[in-house]
Amino acid sequence: MLIDAELLLNYQRCSRRAFLDKHGDLAQRDPPNDYLLKILQDSHTNRQTIMANQVFCQPTYSHRDWQAGASATLELMQRGVERIYQGVLLFKGEDGVTLASNPDLLIKQPGQSFFGDWLYLPMDIKLGKRPKLEYQIIAAYHTYVLAQVQGAWVETAWLLLRERGRYAVDLWEMLPKMQEILDECILTLSQPQEPEVFIARNRCSLCHWFSHCYSLAKTDHHLSLLPGVTPARYTQLQVLNLTTVRALAEVHPAQLEPLPGFGREAAYRLVRQARSTLQNRALLIEENIDWTPPTARSALPARQPQVFSAETELPTAPVELYFDIEAEPALNLVYLHGVLVVDRQAKTETFHSFIAEFPEEEATVWQQFLDLVWSYPTAPIYHFCPFELQTVERLAKLYGTPSHQIQPLLTRFVDLHERVTRLVTLPVESYALKPIARWLGFEWRDPTANGAQSIYWYSQWQLTGDRTYLDAILAYNEDDCRATYRIKDWLVNFLQSVYQAELA
């Protein structure tokens, strides 16, 4: 079996992914995602920019021909060249597993090795700004394979990070961790059966096995599709044989409360989530639910009817603003402020977009956004998640916007995601904007559009000058604003109807 650094990196993200990459049916893989291709291209450009100022030798070999790459690299190491770019290191262990490593750079140092009075240390060039643990583990992996090839251990492995520069990996800490992960990886890949599917949005959304895994999870009604079921909690639920939505919906939350990773709040929330999904209906968070199992139900004391204060929770005003930002985190750039102005008296809905066609226009569109929101000085500003509010605070600081213009504005912001998750439980797979709005029947004009795609479109606009990319961004952003509007109106109506029914 051959393990390479990419496989080990993916194993850290998801053991199933590493297994499928090794043994899966390639026909079931998704085609490359535009955003992922952009990251790969950015990574490549970053490496080229850095290497443009360096003198180095590069071994010649065909892509993925590890043996040829290793021979050519070994030859350069034996010659004692100062820097080797994209070399290959190969080591076959006694267990028959071959380890392949390909650090971006091998840098010559004084010391004793098989080659003479010099040795090499590894460096990886990363597009990211943070020394993620998974990168440090791979740096330790390079170090380990390198030690076998050159017959000497080095004390340092480097990550070259964007903006932050060189980062020294603590090998004393990382080598044992890496060894543990490597052993687990080899064991997993030796098994006949693939690891169980577990959909976790943050790691699965960019994975090329997503469609395959998601359809399996859907068919099996897998618990990972239930918001709140983390891998750690899933392990606990398996021990109790609570592996279906129905089983979880019928358990008493007190049974889950003492489990590691639960607690009272999470236990009640999770069972309520299972019930909402099973019954395919929205539940009020504080709804008087009989938590006893169906076999032993008894009446619980009735909850006092509450009065829902729309005024404070979800203000409905003659004019309301629905706001969504598009940003490129890698450039620290906000390239679009989209605002849907809903005039309930005039019965009009007008979408305003302030787009920085070029990054230098960020300040201009910021001011245009301020002018618009101040032309409706009392209108509540609805947004979904804290990002919009945080970004407005950041831009105000960046462009020296006076506090008397910003502070009153911030008091008008209403985070609809916070209201939804605090007030109701919904039969959705995630509390992101799209699943909630789709559950309400809202559809985006481009069903494939998302934040990552918008970033890709913006980069393509920069590269090609083709305005269809800008149009696609604007349509997507407007739909996000309209989806927020749809959720807000639904939530107000739902809460009012529930409370009015209780008071009747």
CB 129 within 8 A of CB 163: yes
- How distant, in Å, are the alpha carbons of 25, 188, 207, 228, 407 from that of 21? 9, 12, 11, 28, 51
Residue 185 in the binding site for ligand SF4 (CB under 6 A)? no
- According to CB under 6 A, which one of 207, 370, 395, 487 is a site residue for ligand SF4? 207
**Euclidean distance between CA atoms 190 and 193, whole angstroms:** 9
In angstroms, what is the C-alpha Rg of the chain? 27
- Among the candidate windows 79-87, 175-183, 199-207, 439-447, which touches ligand SF4 by CB under 6 A? 199-207
Residue 392 in the binding site for ligand SF4 (CB under 6 A)? no
Residue 204 in the binding site for ligand SF4 (CB under 6 A)? yes
- How distant, in Å, are the alpha carbons of 74, 376, 409 from that of 485? 62, 17, 19
CB of 23 to ligand SF4, least distance (A): 12
Name which of 149 and 204 has its Cβ closer to ligand SF4.
204
CA dihedral 386, 389, 390, 391 (to 10 degrees): 120
- According to CB under 6 A, which one of 129, 164, 166, 203 is a site residue for ligand SF4? 203
- According to CB under 6 A, which one of 197, 365, 428, 437 is a site residue for ligand SF4? 197
Name which of 188 and 368 has its Cβ closer to ligand SF4.
188
CB of 39 to ligand SF4, least distance (A): 16
Residue with tokens 């998640």: 385
Name which of 154 and 199 has its Cβ closer to ligand SF4.
199
User: Per-residue string for binding with ligand SF4, 458-497, x by CB under 6 A?
Assistant: ----------------------------------------
CB of 106 to ligand SF4, least distance (A): 31
Residue (of 411, 436, 413) closest to 489 by Cα position: 436
CB of 423 to ligand SF4, least distance (A): 30
Residue 397 in the binding site for ligand SF4 (CB under 6 A)? no
Q: Are strands 348-355 and 381-383 parallel, antiparallel or unpaired?
A: unpaired
CB of 10 to ligand SF4, least distance (A): 8
Using the Cα atoms of residue 103, residue 108, residue 109 and residue 112 in order, give the sign of their dihedral.
Answer: positive
CB of 22 to ligand SF4, least distance (A): 12
Q: What are phi and psi of 232, to 5 degrees?
A: -65, -45
CB 135 within 8 A of CB 161: no
CB of 145 to ligand SF4, least distance (A): 25
Q: List residues bridging with 284 in a β-sheet.
A: 424
CB of 210 to ligand SF4, least distance (A): 4
Name which of 205 and 348 has its Cβ closer to ligand SF4.
205
Residue 210 in the binding site for ligand SF4 (CB under 6 A)? yes
Residue with tokens 């990773």: 261
- According to CB under 6 A, which one of 198, 366, 444, 456 is a site residue for ligand SF4? 198
Number of residues that bind ligand SF4 (CB under 6 A): 13
CB of 64 to ligand SF4, least distance (A): 21
- Among the candidate windows 197-205, 360-368, 382-390, 394-402, which touches ligand SF4 by CB under 6 A? 197-205
Name which of 6 and 371 has its Cβ closer to ligand SF4.
6
**Euclidean distance between CA atoms 450 and 460, whole angstroms:** 15
Helix (H, G, I), strand (E, B) or coil at 289: coil
**Euclidean distance between CA atoms 42 and 391, whole angstroms:** 24
- According to CB under 6 A, which one of 209, 354, 382, 458 is a site residue for ligand SF4? 209
CB 105 within 8 A of CB 83: yes
User: Per-residue string for binding with ligand SF4, 19-58, x by CB under 6 A?
Assistant: -x--------------------------------------
Residues 1-20 that bind ligand SF4 (CB under 6 A): 14, 16-17, 20
Residues 420-449 that bind ligand SF4 (CB under 6 A): none
**Euclidean distance between CA atoms 217 and 243, whole angstroms:** 12
**Euclidean distance between CA atoms 120 and 102, whole angstroms:** 13
Contacts of 148 (CB under 8 A, 6+ apart): 89, 91, 99
Q: Are strands 105-113 and 413-415 parallel, antiparallel or unpaired?
A: unpaired
**Euclidean distance between CA atoms 289 and 157, whole angstroms:** 56
Residue ranges in contact with ligand SF4 by CB under 6 A: 14, 16-17, 20, 197-199, 203-204, 207, 209-210, 213
